[in-house]
Structure 1
């Protein structure tokens, strides 16, 4: 006859109980939901970009960029329409801060273009502030001719580089 110690018998019995607990099948019927719940999740889902994001800004404004004539920081009617759409978005998203970048074409000295780029960025910022955007939410920076978007040395390239860009951080 084989003799078992008490420890071995207890270990075997504990293992059998543990394995038996794992093999339990699911109940045929689920219990009712907790009191105070209304059923399926009714949290709204967004199919577009997250509200207040850079993608939302780009999707819901006419453009993030306005363009200027040579040696000018005047805002024309087309620019006003773009800035009006930006202002409406910024007023609807009061927690968003933006940077307005001023840019120039390659002609002129570095110092002149930095000053002109700042005037362009300030013109856009002042227009947005006049449309209800809090000035403390806007930062202005001039890149002068240091960050061209078009690399040619012709009138078409220069026209693309004379701009102010409203940047919503990622």
Structure 2
């Protein structure tokens, strides 16, 4: 399914307060099966949405680069880790290494990652909706409803059962 990023952006901003209420309800009720609920909706959403049709995460945000990511990518580019940092990264307000700019320097024109096999851990795990302890990443997942159409869809589907 082709993603209209402008339409998605309007819808995700419009529904953000409702999604925030859903997040608060999930945090307060702490459903025991929350991980499996998210996993099922994650699988359904990604059966319809192809990341290569979107790549909004790569176009608008930066993953956090941990030292092992930096070392691995520096090796790929045959440079020292310090050179990789100087060329591609800076520290954000939380002292994490992030990309200097958006879109990601490693995003191809076809939305394919040029370093896919060696991409940072944060990219491998994004959007974090198919993991254990979803309760612990609900704040992050709420933010991701504004970035990832699949996460937005996951919240929408879960909300059908919880917004009553």
> How high is the TM-score relative to the length of structure 2?
0.25
Structure (1/2) with the larger helix percentage: 2
Structure (1/2) with the larger strand percentage: 1
CA radius of gyration, larger in: 1
> How high is the TM-score relative to the length of structure 1?
0.24
